[in-house]
Amino acid sequence: MKITEKSYKWKGSLQKRAKTNYIVLHHMAGSGSVDDIHRIHLGNGWTGIGYHFYVRKDGTVFRGRPIDAVGAHTSGYNSQALGICFEGNYETEKAMPEVQKKAGQELVSYLKGVYPNAKIKKHRDFNATACPGKNFPFEDIASGKTELTESSEIVAELGGRGIMTNVALWNVKCVSDANAYALAKAIANKTKNAPERKEKLESVNDIVWELAHRGIITDKALWLKLLEKDKDLYWLGYKCVNMTK
């Protein structure tokens, strides 16, 4: 996830937040740039943009206030809450663009790592408002879960973990081979980094049974044949079971 940094001219000084109990989700109730929000909030007599992050419909994530600063977005709770605003009016708009929703999920996932005890809330949970709107996909975004589906994203993820070493090979293989794509996608979305095993699983049978046990594959008979036949699939399975949990 990329966060686009911005420089703002603040009207006064910002204060640091002593605690972060909540991450509050908002909608803009309209469309516009992060600079538009900054200008509007200055016009309200505030120090400047009150949100810490702004997610546009095209999936671009902008930095607002510094992540540890007191915000201006949820009356009565700004000293203990971080605010994320989404472009759009989800009281009237029926659906959020997938790219915006995915960016929101990734941002929430990142912030959960920074503030693991913070609760994800809607603006209307605290104040008398419809924000972020009745059609806002709160549960999807608050979960912070997002599935990798693009071949290039899957290969980049597994390459970054060291599970794939020949990225160029797998970029081609995941596009041309449906089985390779399915296995790589399942591994990318269902595994986590972990120390290597002390005792390696090396036989095709052991690798297939371990993959099935984790829910990465279902048809063991099919994958026994595929891993026996295709050395690249074998090594992907080998790396997966021995480098992740």
CA 113/CA 130 separation, integer angstroms: 28
181, pLDDT greater than 80: yes
Average pLDDT, rounded, for the chain: 92
pLDDT tens digits along 24-38: 999 999 999 999 999
**CA nearest to 61, candidates 15, 118, 101, 92:** 101
Position 188 scores a pLDDT of 87
Position 113 scores a pLDDT of 86
CA 186/CA 112 separation, integer angstroms: 23
CA 48/CA 153 separation, integer angstroms: 36
Position 197 scores a pLDDT of 57
Q: What angle do CA 222, 224, 226 make, to 5 degrees?
A: 70
pLDDT band at 198 (very low <50, low <70, confident <90, very high): low
CA 224/CA 42 separation, integer angstroms: 64
Single-letter amino acid, residue 45? G
Q: What is the pTM of this model?
A: 0.66
Q: Is 245 exposed, middle or buried (0-12, 13-18, 19+ CB in 10 A)?
A: exposed
Position 80 scores a pLDDT of 97
193, pLDDT greater than 60: no
